[in-house]
Amino acid sequence: MKITSKDILQKTFEKNFRGYDKDEVTAYLGLVADAWDKLEDEKAALERDLEISRREAKKLKDVEESLFRTLKTAEDTGVSIIEEANQAANDILADAKNNAEAMLADARRRSNQLLEISEAKAKTVLADLKADVQKLVKDYESLLKERDLVLKNLKKVSEDIQHSIEVSQESFKKVNVQTHANLVSELEKAKAFTLANLPETEIATPEPTTLVEQPVAEVVSETVEIPKEEPVSVVDSVEDEVAEAPSEPLAEAETEESPSEDETPKTEEPKAKPDKGSSFFDQFD
């Protein structure tokens, strides 16, 4: 609580039967004493600050005087330095003027040499580039020719493969699997050819079949699928029956077989025992 002299003069106390309230007056005087102590402390602190400020001001004044003297000395020295600099500049300028023509001539000579070297290098680079471009053009033309040749060969190969496929499909259409199946079934039912009824003949040992590498067209023709009109189940049954039946009766029966579906009579030679690695349709080729 801050108390001024005005507050002390204007302070009023309630009256009691015997005058002012003693406790209230005592309390107020305590507050006044505290405020007074604070004022005294503040006064002492301000006096200390004032003393410090005076000392700082004196130091600043001393510094100011020193700076003034330094500035004066610097000014005098600056004038001297400027004079010396002007003199040195004049000397340098005079030397530069004397050497300018020599330096200019030397610069022109060097620039001409660099220009000649650059032109020579440029001509060499252009010649190399021209040779590289011509080489690339020749290589490109040769690649075009090779491409045309490869395309022609591929077209020819595709035509040969297509022709082989068509031939294979036609040959598969001519094979009548059902006829051979019926023949095998009739032979089994008749049981006409048995070991007891066969004449004593020398059984010829079949020679080993030599595998011959077929051309690409024939290989492609052999891998063609069987047309859909020939059921797979009939072929499987015929193969099973042929595997169970003896090979000799089958050979003799084929010699007595009637002409094929094209009704052109022909004499069939006895066929050797089929190789295990060959298929059922190889014996009708």
Q: What is the pLDDT of residues 240-250, one digit of tens each?
A: 544 444 444 43
Q: Taking residues 144-165, what's their average pLDDT?
A: 90
Distance, in Å, from the CA atom of 277 to the CA atom of 239, rounded to the nearest integer, reads: 14
Does 263 or 95 have the greater pLDDT score? 95
Instruction: Note the pLDDT of residue 48.
Output: 92
Sign of the Cα pseudo-torsion (76, 77, 80, 83, in order): negative
Give the bridge partners for 19, in sequence order. Answer: 16
Does 274 or 50 have the greater pLDDT score? 50
Instruction: Note the pLDDT of residue 259.
Output: 42
Does 214 or 179 have the greater pLDDT score? 179
194 confidence band (pLDDT: 50, 70, 90): low
Own/partner pairs, 235-243, CB within 8 angstroms, 24+ separation: 235/177, 235/280, 237/181, 238/177, 238/180, 238/181, 238/184, 238/280, 239/280, 241/181, 241/184, 241/185, 241/188, 242/184, 242/280
Average pLDDT, the chain: 71
* Residue 231, helix vs strand vs coil: coil
Q: Taking residues 79-107, what's their average pLDDT?
A: 87
Determine how many CB atoms are found less than 10 A away from the CB of residue 274: 16
User: Among 159-173, 179-193, 252-266, whose mean pLDDT is lowest?
Assistant: 252-266
Q: Taking residues 273-280, what's their average pLDDT?
A: 46
